[in-house]
């Protein structure tokens, strides 16, 4: 069998929480929960018969709901919604009507509000073994949840292929005009532990989005040329970062809007693991975990600043308040749809390290 479902682990919100392990012939094993669509494990076999788990998380799913962890807003490995990143002042207009949403980092909203999609128990729609192991989840975000209008029906597929790709396919439908910008918030460490400062990063983006002091996107797009944000040629994550800041920035991917292409890549010389992220989304948010402060992680690890990084594919952050940015309003009869893949290669597959 190339997919395995656990028994019910516990109940949350009156619903059973499960784990699903997807496997392929290359030995990659990915464990996903219907709690928050969380990717708990992403095990990659490397030379010497070892396996490296390249995502941050907890050994027990209950830890993802502990008060101290939730308060720290780490979102380890979870689905983010209804709206990724920050909505300025927790408000926006739709058709001339002012919408006010919850403000979990006052005065702004971050990653969907006080209780976002990361804390919800998703419905198990389908489990498939062929042609590739696949788990399909859904969540109905009811009208008014966190202040957002409309009943939003969200569907997510997680598929592991024999090409060592984890594909995440997302769809959503609404019965009222609403704002939506979903992403997945996996934290990666291609060494399994320690600092990610030595990871070699590529982001094919000539522009990044300007932010104010609260990390809220202002609407200005800045050229990466001659700045610390230029990752068009591979370089170490820590080569130009500010020591206490790292990166928490959205990049506009060098491709035609709504087309498929490379968003970012990371490579560890130590483990030999390379991660490539492909998407049809227009931006990728590169976060190096400045605010990580998570205790009792896997095997008792503490996740501190710069022990994990995120490549969050999405529409432009705060686009709902910036008319010249691509539209993030979904209307009845329309389909919100995007796909992102995380592709793994190991050993000699990496070229051009410098």
Report which of residues 1 and 170 the model is more confident about: 170
Q: What is the pLDDT of residue 352?
A: 44
What is the per-residue pLDDT for 246? 97
Q: What is the mean pLDDT of the chain?
A: 96
List domains and CATH numbers for the chain.
Answer: 3-349 (2.70.98.10)
Q: What percent of the chain has pLDDT over 90?
A: 95
CB atoms within 10 A of CB 345: 17
For residue range 296-312, list pLDDT tens digits in order: 999 999 999 999 999 99
Q: For the segment 330-345, what is each residue's pLDDT rounded down to a tens digit?
A: 999 999 999 999 999 9
**pLDDT digit string (tens) for 264-294?**
999 999 999 999 999 999 999 999 999 999 9
What is the per-residue pLDDT across 135-154, written as a single tens digit (0 to 9) for each? 999 999 999 999 999 999 99
> 335, 103 in Cβ contact below 8 A?
no
Judge whether residue 161 has pLDDT over 50.
Answer: yes
Q: Annotated active-site positions, please?
A: 185, 312
Q: Please report which confidence band the pLDDT of residue 1 belongs to, taking 50, 70 and 90 as the band edges.
A: low
pLDDT at residue number 60: 96
State how far the alpha carbon of 312 is from the alpha carbons of 24, 79, 80, 194, in Å. 24, 10, 10, 21
pLDDT average, residue stretch 231-259: 96
Q: What angle do CA 133, 81, 22 make, to 5 degrees?
A: 15
Residue 47: what pLDDT? 87
Confidence of residue 350 (pLDDT cuts 50, 70, 90): low
Return the sign of the alpha-carbon dihedral for residues 70, 309, 79, 336. positive
pLDDT of 353 strictly over 90: no
Quick one: tokens of 242? 């500010």
Q: How does pLDDT run across 21-66, given as a tens digit for each residue?
A: 999 999 999 999 999 999 999 999 998 889 999 999 999 999 999 9
Mean pLDDT confidence for 9-15: 96
Residue with tokens 């029906």, as numbered in its chain = 153
What number is the average pLDDT over the span 70-76?
95
Spatial separation of the C-alpha atoms in residues 192 and 176, rounded to whole Å: 43
Inform me whether the pLDDT recorded for 110 exceeds 90.
Answer: yes
Q: Positive or negative CA dihedral for 230, 234, 237, 238?
A: negative
């Amino acid at each position: 069998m190339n997919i395995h479902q656990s028994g019910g682990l516990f109940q949350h919100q009156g619903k059973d929480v499960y784990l699903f392990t997807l496997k392929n012939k290359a030995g990659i094993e990915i464990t996903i929960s219907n709690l928050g669509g969380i990717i708990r494990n992403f095990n990659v076999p490397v030379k010497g018969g070892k396996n490296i788990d390249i995502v941050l998380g907890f050994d027990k799913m209950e830890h993802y709901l502990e008060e101290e962890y939730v308060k720290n807003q780490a979102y380890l490995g979870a689905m983010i919604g209804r709206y990724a990143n920050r909505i300025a002042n927790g408000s926006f207009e739709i058709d001339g009507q002012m919408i006010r949403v919850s403000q979990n980092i006052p005065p702004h909203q971050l990653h969907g509000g006080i209780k976002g999609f990361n804390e919800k128990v998703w419905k198990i729609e389908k489990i498939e073994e062929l042609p590739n192991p696949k788990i399909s989840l859904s969540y109905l975000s009811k009208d008014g949840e966190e202040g957002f209008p409309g009943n939003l029906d969200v569907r997510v597929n997680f598929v592991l292929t024999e090409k060592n790709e984890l594909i995440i396919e997302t769809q959503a439908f609404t019965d009222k005009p609403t704002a939506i910008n979903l992403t997945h918030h996996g934290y990666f460490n291609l060494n399994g532990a320690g600092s990610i400062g030595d990871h070699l990063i590529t982001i094919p983006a000539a522009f990044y989005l300007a932010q104010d002091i609260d990390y809220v996107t202002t609407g200005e797009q800045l050229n990466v040329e001659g700045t610390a944000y230029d990752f068009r040629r591979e370089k170490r994550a820590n080569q130009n970062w500010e020591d206490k800041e790292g990166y928490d920035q959205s990049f506009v991917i060098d491709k035609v809007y709504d087309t498929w292409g490379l968003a970012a890549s990371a490579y560890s010389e130590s483990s030999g693991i390379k991660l490539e992220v492909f998407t049809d989304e227009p931006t990728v948010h590169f976060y190096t975990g400045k605010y990580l402060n998570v205790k009792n992680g896997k095997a008792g690890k503490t996740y501190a600043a710069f022990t994990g990084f995120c490549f969050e594919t999405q529409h432009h952050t705060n686009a709902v308040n910036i008319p010249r940015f691509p539209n993030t309003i979904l209307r009845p009869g329309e389909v919100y749809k995007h796909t992102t893949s995380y592709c793994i290669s190991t050993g000699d597959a990496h070229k051009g390290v410098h």
